[in-house]
């Protein structure tokens, strides 16, 4: 009895306590809610301007890159910035398009490659960035980058980062170079002879290309092989020179590591020793050069019968039309294009400044890459290529033609002539749908670029 | 019902609509025409079917043995069940990357074989020149990752078999093999059918393992759908691949329901 009465008393007290606490909590919540609502309504202007800026990109997406971006690049900006990056350009584009179409976007700044902005401009109205470019006149952006920042005649992004593609070799491969060959002035024939010599000496195919679905072999074909062998791209797509180029490529592919279709970033097979000589994007090989600077050497892409084809990579910044923090976003663009910040980007992320001016005393890895890129740009036989202009939503379909051609010829061993004839029809259809005129290295055209 | 409408019926209807709409928004068969003429379409169907034809027998043979071992209640069988279930906690992509580190040229497998003196030069297991070998590596990775799903289903089925039947077989001095073949397996048929349908549908959707191990060397239907959307930004073509995968999944389910009918007395 006694025990039961104590239990009842305890439970009764507990019930009362719970009810009392509940009432207090409810009252508190109502009070806090009212207070916060008042606060929000009275201070909405200041909250909007002082909240973190949201910066979305499809670059710098690895954990290390994202962390370095937050800690070493954006930490110097006065306002807090929420930086997020997607590894996949499609996700980035989908996100920006969805927010723009909904008209309630949370994004304040977007950073992508030139091609991403072209794809975005085909789907949504991007902000005219002429005012920001005018304000940043003292950055001295090169005219060719400012031209690329114009989509349909209007500036749609501000140049932010740039890079290029180059070659890296393990120093173990250098003794096998053909007689008289210099890695800095290599020809494609010498590259093939080098690959063959490596195979003869080691029994392994030690040349490597990034041919996985996430790899950039399409740029090797579009910006390096075609210009070097045919002097152009679209207008010589199925020409006799192009047939010669594909015949050459089949030989080079025969001395390439058969695992190349699984390689996305060549720094990994270089570091593991599966590949001794590789071509890739500068950013995708920097880890090999940084981790083992004494073991690897960077050098320019080779030259072909028509010269040394090379392709730049340009990334830009834009403010979405839905941003509520335009002034702060403009300040962030100004900060990100300052020489001090671009030097930090180069040091931590291996992306070069959009002005082309490099800081002095670069670390060996970056210095090697910078020298290789400069050698390609300043080569007497350089064939300068532009990033595809005017393709809009057809950009991916355009790349697909080159990937399908590579797959058919290199992986499935299909005959070169008929494959090029079939692909040329698809390529012409893509260019026609986009209404794209020719771009360098193709000669300028008055109407749609004609596949030759 | 609302949940089904929002999360299943609506995306499915949207996918079908995309598949039967052209890029310019016209209703018709333009995307289906594009699908059939897509380079690698037919080889992706062949590869998917070969992969399926290898995965199903390998996984079911393994799963039946593993389920029988668990069901035999041997010492430590509970621990074995936990070990079998470990790969279930690993995502498909992580599993693909793990197996890539095993099969790559400088990977664990070649290192072990070299250390044992079995090989003197690394073997390229993931070469585009040997598609069947590539498929075998994918089958091994998939068998490791998802056999445990079938084991769970089969253990459930085995535990539902009344002991009377096996005791009756013991009375007639039936050997363990005859008990398995004439008693356990027929009574396990409804469970096997469910597991077969589930595994076949899931096998049609495997893509991360294929991308990790084969890259662009080999395409299956799911990688074609993924690449069409992410790499080439063609949602209509990706949806057409998705609809094809759905139809093949439905057809395989119908096939198993027809080929493996459940007798009423078994279902009871």
Residues B16-50 pLDDT 10s:
999 999 877 888 899 999 999 988 899 999 999 99
Whether the upstream peptide bond of residue A276 has omega within 30° of 0, thus cis, is no
Q: Is residue B163 part of a domain?
A: yes
Following CA atoms A197, A201, A202, A208 in sequence, which dihedral angle do they give, to the nearest 10 degrees? -10
The answer to whether A396 contacts chain B (CB < 8 Å) is yes
Contact indicator for B213, B134 with CB cutoff of 8 Å: yes
Q: Which of residues 243-302 of A touch B (CB under 8 A)?
A: 257-264, 272-274
Contacts of A260 in chain B (CB under 8 A): 128
Helix-then-strand count for chain A, H and E = 18, 12
Of the partner residues B126, B231, B234, the one whose CB lies closest to the CB of residue A262: B126
Written as six digits, the tokens of B221 are: 């239907």
Of the partner residues B128, B223, B227, the one whose CB lies closest to the CB of residue A261: B128
Q: Report the domain count for chain B.
A: 1
Mean pLDDT by 10 residues, chain A (452 residues): 38 40 44 37 38 90 88 90 86 88 88 88 89 93 87 92 93 96 95 97 96 93 96 96 97 97 95 97 92 95 95 92 91 94 89 82 86 86 82 82 95 95 95 89 92 93
Read off the CATH number of the domain in which B195 is found: 1.10.3720.10
Beta bridge partners of A310: A384
The answer to whether A422 contacts chain B (CB < 8 Å) is no
Q: Is residue B18 part of a domain?
A: no
- Reduce the DSSP state of residue A215 to 3 states and report it: coil
Contacts of B34 in chain A (CB under 8 A): none
Residue with the two structure tokens 């990790």: B212
- Cβ–Cβ pairs < 8 A, chains A and B: 79
Contacts of B229 in chain A (CB under 8 A): 90
pLDDT tens digits, residue range B145-160? Answer: 989 899 999 999 999 9
Residue with the two structure tokens 């930490």: A75
Can you give the pLDDT at residue A143? Answer: 86
Can you give the pLDDT at residue B263? Answer: 65
The answer to whether A211 contacts chain B (CB < 8 Å) is yes
Could you write out the DSSP letters of every residue in A29-51? HHHHHHHHHHHHHHSHHHHHHHS
CA nearest A225: which of A250, A246, A211, A206? Answer: A246
Which of A262, A272, A396, A423 to mutate to probe the B interface, most B CBs <10 Å? A262
Q: Is residue B5 part of a domain?
A: no
Cross-chain Cβ contact B232/A213 below 8 Å: no
CA R_g for chain A: 28
**Domain containing B256: what range?**
40-218+247-267
- ipTM (interface predicted TM): 0.85
Work out the percent of chain B whose per-residue pLDDT is above 90.
Answer: 62
Can you give the pLDDT at residue A50? Answer: 56
Cross-chain Cβ contact B231/A261 below 8 Å: no
Cross-chain Cβ contact B213/A90 below 8 Å: no
Q: Is residue B28 part of a domain?
A: no
Following CA atoms A354, A355, A361, A362 in sequence, which dihedral angle do they give, to the nearest 10 degrees? 20
Q: Which long-range contacts (CB under 8 A, 24 or more apart) does A251-256 make?
A: A251/A192, A252/A188, A252/A191, A252/A192, A252/A195, A252/A207, A253/A209, A253/A410, A254/A205, A255/A192, A255/A195, A255/A196, A255/A198, A255/A199, A255/A205, A255/A206, A255/A207, A256/A195, A256/A205, A256/A207, A256/A208, A256/A209
d(CA B239, CA B244): 9
d(CA B139, CA B53): 10
Cross-chain Cβ contact B216/A261 below 8 Å: yes
Cross-chain Cβ contact B215/A213 below 8 Å: yes
Cross-chain Cβ contact A204/B121 below 8 Å: yes
- Residue B137 CB neighbour total at 10 angstroms: 20
CATH 3.40.640.10 fits A52-162+314-369, yes or no: no
Of the partner residues B39, B124, B215, the one whose CB lies closest to the CB of residue A404: B39
Least confident piece of the model among A193-197, A318-322, B100-104, B227-231: B227-231
CA atoms within 13 A on the CB side of B162: 6
Residue B108 has pLDDT above 60, yes or no: yes
Cross-chain Cβ contact A407/B39 below 8 Å: yes
Residue with the two structure tokens 């053909």: A178
Cross-chain Cβ contact B234/A397 below 8 Å: yes
Can you give the pLDDT at residue A4? Answer: 39
Average pLDDT, chain B: 90
Contacts of A261 in chain B (CB under 8 A): 128, 214-217
Which of B97, B101, B105, B138 to mutate to probe the A interface, most A CBs <10 Å? B105
Cross-chain Cβ contact B106/A93 below 8 Å: no
- Residue A117 CB neighbour total at 10 angstroms: 26
Which of B102, B233, B236 to mutate to probe the A interface, most A CBs <10 Å? B233
């Amino acid at each position: 009895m006694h025990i039961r009465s104590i239990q009842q008393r305890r439970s009764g007290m507990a019930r009362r306590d719970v009810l009392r606490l509940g009432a207090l909590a409810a009252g508190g919540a109502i009070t806090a809610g009212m207070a916060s609502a008042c606060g929000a309504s009275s201070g909405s202007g200041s909250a909007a301007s002082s909240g973190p800026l949201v910066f979305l990109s499809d670059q710098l997406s690895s954990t290390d890159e994202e962390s370095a971006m937050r800690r070493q690049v954006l930490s110097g900006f006065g306002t807090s910035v929420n930086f997020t990056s997607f590894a996949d350009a499609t996700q980035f584009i989908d996100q920006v398009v969805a927010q723009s179409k909904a008209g309630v976007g949370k994004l304040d700044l977007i950073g992508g490659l030139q091609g991403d902005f072209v794809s975005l401009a085909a789907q949504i109205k991007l902000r005219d960035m002429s005012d920001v470019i005018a304000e940043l006149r003292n950055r001295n952006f090169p005219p060719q980058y400012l031209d690329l920042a114009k989509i349909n005649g209007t500036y749609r992004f501000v140049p932010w980062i740039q890079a290029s593609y180059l070659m890296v070799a393990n120093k173990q491969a250098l003794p096998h170079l053909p007689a008289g060959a210099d890695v800095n002035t290599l020809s494609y024939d010498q590259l093939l002879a080098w690959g063959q010599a490596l195979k003869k000496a080691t029994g392994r195919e030690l040349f490597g290309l990034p041919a996985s679905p996430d790899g950039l072999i399409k740029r090797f074909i579009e910006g390096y092989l075609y210009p070097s062998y045919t002097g152009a791209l679209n207008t010589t797509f199925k020409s006799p020179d192009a047939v010669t180029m594909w015949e050459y490529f089949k030989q080079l592919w025969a001395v390439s590591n058969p695992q190349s279709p699984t390689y996305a970033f060549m720094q990994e097979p270089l570091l593991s020793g599966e590949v001794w000589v590789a071509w890739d994007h500068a950013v995708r090989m920097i880890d090999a050069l940084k981790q083992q600077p004494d073991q690897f050497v960077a050098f320019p892409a080779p030259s072909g019968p028509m010269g040394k084809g090379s392709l730049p990579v340009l990334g830009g910044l834009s403010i979405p039309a839905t941003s509520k923090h335009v002034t702060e976003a403009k300040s962030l663009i100004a900060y990100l294009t300052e020489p001090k910040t671009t030097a930090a980007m180069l040091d931590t992320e291996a992306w070069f400044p959009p002005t082309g001016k490099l800081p002095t005393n670069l670390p060996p890895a970056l210095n090697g890459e910078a020298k290789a890129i400069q050698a390609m740009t300043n080569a007497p036989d350089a064939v300068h290529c532009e990033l595809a202009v005017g393709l809009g939503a057809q950009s991916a379909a355009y790349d697909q033609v080159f990937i399908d051609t590579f797959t058919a010829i290199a992986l499935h061993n299909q005959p070169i002539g008929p494959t090029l004839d079939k692909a040329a029809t698809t390529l012409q259809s893509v260019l026609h749908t986009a209404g794209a005129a020719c771009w360098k290295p193709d000669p300028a055209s008055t109407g749609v670029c004609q596949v030759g | 019902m609302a949940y089904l409408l929002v999360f299943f019926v609506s995306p499915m209807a949207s996918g079908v609509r995309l598949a039967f709409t052209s890029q310019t928004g016209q209703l018709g068969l333009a995307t289906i025409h594009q699908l059939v003429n897509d380079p690698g379409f037919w080889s992706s169907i062949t590869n998917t079917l070969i992969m399926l034809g290898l995965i199903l027998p390998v996984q079911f043979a393994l799963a039946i043995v593993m389920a029988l071992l668990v069901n035999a209640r041997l010492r430590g069988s509970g621990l074995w069940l936990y070990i079998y279930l470990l790969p279930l906690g690993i995502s498909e992509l992580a599993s693909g990357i793990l197996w890539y580190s095993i099969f790559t040229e400088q990977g664990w497998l070649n290192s072990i074989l070299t250390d044992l003196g079995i090989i003197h030069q690394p073997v390229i297991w993931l070469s585009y020149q040997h598609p069947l070998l590539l498929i075998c590596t994918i089958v091994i990775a998939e068998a490791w990752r998802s056999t445990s799903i079938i084991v769970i289903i089969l253990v459930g089925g085995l535990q539902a078999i009344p002991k009377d039947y096996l005791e009756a077989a013991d009375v007639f001095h039936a050997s363990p093999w005859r008990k398995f073949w004439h008693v356990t397996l027929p009574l396990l048929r409804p469970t096997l059918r469910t597991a077969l349908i589930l595994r076949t549908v899931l096998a049609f959707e495997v893509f991360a393992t294929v991308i990790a191990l084969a890259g662009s060397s080999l395409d299956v239907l799911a990688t074609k759908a993924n690449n069409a959307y992410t790499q080439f930004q063609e949602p209509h073509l990706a949806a057409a691949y998705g609809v094809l995968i759905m139809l093949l999944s439905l057809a395989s389910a119908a096939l198993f329901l027809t080929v493996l009918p459940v007798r009423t007395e078994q279902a009871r």
